[in-house]
Amino acid sequence: MPRRDTPKVRRARWLSRIVGAIAGAVFGVLYGAFIISNSQGLLNEDRSVALVALIAAGLAGAASLALAAPLLSVEPFLWLERTLDEAPASQIMGASLGLVLALLVAALAEVLLNPLPWGLGVLISLALAVMLIYVGVRAGSRRREAFVGLFSGRPEPSLNDGPAPLDGQPVVVDTSVLIDGRIVDVAAAGFIPGRLLLPGFVLEELQRVADAADGMRRAKGRRGLAVVESLQQGHDVVCELVDLDFPGTPEVDSRLVKLARARGAAIMTQDYNLNRLAQIEGVRVLNLNDLANAVKPIVAAGEVMTVAIVKEGKEPNQGVGYLEDGTMVVVENGRGHQDETVSVTVTSVLQTTAGRMIFAALGLPNDGRSLPPRPRRPVAPSPARSSKVAAN
């Protein structure tokens, strides 16, 4: 997302335009005077024409540099500031080390190539320096752990140092995933491709929820903090606390998307709005609900299953039960078997946006019949109705 203009940035742009206009006017007048002094004819002979030419040159220089000054001064500074804000410290250090090594190699190459005739040594050294700087910065930013480890004495993580290698895409988690808690089982199953990034502002939001006055919200916040602690203490995935923040963006969802784009990571969430925002911004989304629906067992018509009927259905003689994964099962002729565990035969499966619904009938398919619905208990007539019938 583009950074919003703050009053300080607008003042910097206006100041750069003023300085650029003054410098452009001076440069234009000096350049015009140089042209006039070295020209022959009307410009050199008529002072009024020369004065008009100097004024025109000054105005042209002032206008040109006033327009170009923000692009040459403020915008590069903002780009550098934004890049440094969004890049992790290890990546900046790795790129800096790569740049230093590239400059050292380029300087050595310049000494060796300097004796070449016709200026070939300078040209080759310049081209080699540009190539080495690009390669050094690129390699340092991509292999930052190895570069930093060379100077800190810490070896690069190997396959035997803990969890699986972090070659996959890192994953940023949001508050809803931590409160849900299923991420612990997902990590234990090995479905997280790379490093798990825990943003500091997400942990702060969890802390605020844990300190809420409402008991339910407080329980959710504490469960989320317990999930974070379980992930950090486990050996199924590497957790990294990320202190990178975006103070100019108050919305947590937008900060998560910015963080994911800065780190080249995916976002794991259950929040619908964050899911849509990340997709619009081109960030990959890992939705735990989609994963849960994908791993549900496939049920086909004619299959026999056991289900506990817990309540009556909307239609006559229907009963409703649920599987262990929460899938609703609508059982024909199951109204009278409430609070019983019965065998049913699947008749059809309906896939909806909220999940799956299974329709089944009581009984087994091989006996050629289904269990009949239990008759309802007769309702005793009221005394008033009985006396009225007797009177008739």
In a domain, 159, yes or no: no
Q: Same domain for 67 and 80?
A: yes
- Give the DSSP per-residue string, 112-130: HHTT-TTTHHHHHHHHHHH
- Is 382 domain-assigned? no
**pLDDT for the residue numbered 89:** 64
Q: Does 92 lie in the same domain as 78? A: no
Whether the model pTM is above 0.85: no
For the stretch 19-42, pLDDT in tens is 989 998 999 888 888 887 777 766
CB 211 within 8 A of CB 221: yes
φ and ψ at residue 369, rounded to 5 degrees: -150, 165
Number of domains comprising the chain = 4
Q: Do 71 and 103 share a domain, yes or no? A: no
Name the percent of the chain lying above pLDDT 90: 9
Do 62 and 102 have their domain in common? no
3-state secondary structure of 348: strand
- Where a domain ends, among 61, 86, 111? 86
Task: Note down the domain range covering 56.
Answer: 7-86
Q: Which residues pair with 304 in a beta bridge?
A: 345
Give the model confidence (pLDDT) of 304-347 as tens digits. Answer: 888 998 988 888 888 999 887 778 899 998 888 888 888 899 99
pLDDT value for 59: 92
Euclidean distance between CA atoms 232 and 253, whole angstroms: 23
* Residue 309 CB partners (closer than 8 Å, separation 6+): 319, 320, 321, 331, 334, 337, 338, 339, 340, 341, 342
